């Protein structure tokens, strides 16, 4: 079996679990915190035939918005952490001034120890696209605040830009540009 596929499968388990667990836990924690009446009933309109129902539309808007925001944060934060580390590392190797700045901030070792692969960045970015898509479609349907949909769109665009930048860095290693040194 392809090693790339096996690695991709292994890397996908964590973000997939975070999405499901994050949404599940955040929905019920928010319902408990707001002390809302809810019921879990079977429904023919949903894929899994079980649906959580709330009494008021305003409660649905509140729970959906903030549970989507928490799930988005659970995927976006690790994605940007990985991207930042990779981009800082490349910047440090290109520009000595970056090394000075990183040393002053005492994060040089953190950056240089990075072994993040392009595959890991790709997997996390794909999951960020998925959760952004869910937030945006939920906003359009009126079940989530619009600002959360906009925020998720912006985050996914930034992550995509970071991923493309990473690809550029990796391809530049194979096809170096003039006057550039790559490690």
Partner 1 sequence: MVKREVKRIRNKLGSMLDPIAIIGMLLLLLLPTLTVMNLSPRTKGSSVNDRNVLGEQDNPNIGVVLVGGIHDYMKEELLDFPAEGIFRYRNTIIAHEKGRYSKPILQIVNNSSDIKDVSVSAILYQPSNTEVSLILDEKEYILVSKQGEPFTHSIKLDGKSDDIAYLKFTSSNKVSFNNTVEVQIVQK
What residues make contact with partner 1 under the rule CB under 8 A? 1-2, 5-6, 8-9, 12-13, 16, 19-20, 23-24, 27, 31, 38, 46-48, 50-57, 59-60, 63-64, 67-68, 71, 126-127, 130-131, 133-134, 138, 141-143
| Least distance CB 41 / partner 1 (angstroms) | 8
Phi, psi for 44 (deg, rounded to 5): -85, -15
Buried b (16+ CB within 10 A) or exposed e, 50-84: eeeebeeeebbbbbbbbbbbbbbebbbebbbebbe
Specify which residues 52 forms β-bridges with.
Answer: 40
Phi, psi for 45 (deg, rounded to 5): -85, -15
For partner 1, the closer CB: 28 or 98: 28
| Contact yes or no for 18/2 (Cβ under 8 A) | no
Cα 64 to chain centroid, rounded: 18
Q: How many CB atoms lie within 10 A of CB 146?
A: 12
For partner 1, the closer CB: 46 or 103: 46
For partner 1, the closer CB: 71 or 166: 71
| Least distance CB 54 / partner 1 (angstroms) | 5
| Least distance CB 173 / partner 1 (angstroms) | 26
| Least distance CB 125 / partner 1 (angstroms) | 12
| Least distance CB 23 / partner 1 (angstroms) | 5
For partner 1, the closer CB: 102 or 149: 149
For partner 1, the closer CB: 76 or 108: 76
Instruction: Supply the DSSP symbol for 43.
Output: -
């Amino acid at each position: 079996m392809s090693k790339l596929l096996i690695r991709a499968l292994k890397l996908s388990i964590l973000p997939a679990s975070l999405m499901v667990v994050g949404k599940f836990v955040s929905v019920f924690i928010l319902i408990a915190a707001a002390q809302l009446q809810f019921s879990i009933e079977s429904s023919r309109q949903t894929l899994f035939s079980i649906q959580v129902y709330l009494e008021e539309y305003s409660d649905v808007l509140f729970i959906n918005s903030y549970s989507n925001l928490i799930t988005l944060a659970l995927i976006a934060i690790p994605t940007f952490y990985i991207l930042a580390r990779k981009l800082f590392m490349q910047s440090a190797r290109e520009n000595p001034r970056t090394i000075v700045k990183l040393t002053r901030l005492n994060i040089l070792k953190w950056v240089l120890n990075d072994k993040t692969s392009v595959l890991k960045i790709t997997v996390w970015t794909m999951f960020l696209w998925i959760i952004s898509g869910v937030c945006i479609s939920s906003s359009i349907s009126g079940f989530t605040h619009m600002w959360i949909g906009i925020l998720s769109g912006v985050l996914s665009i930034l992550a995509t830009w970071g991923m493309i930048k990473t690809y550029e860095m990796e391809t530049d290693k194979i096809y170096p540009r003039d006057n550039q040194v790559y490690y």
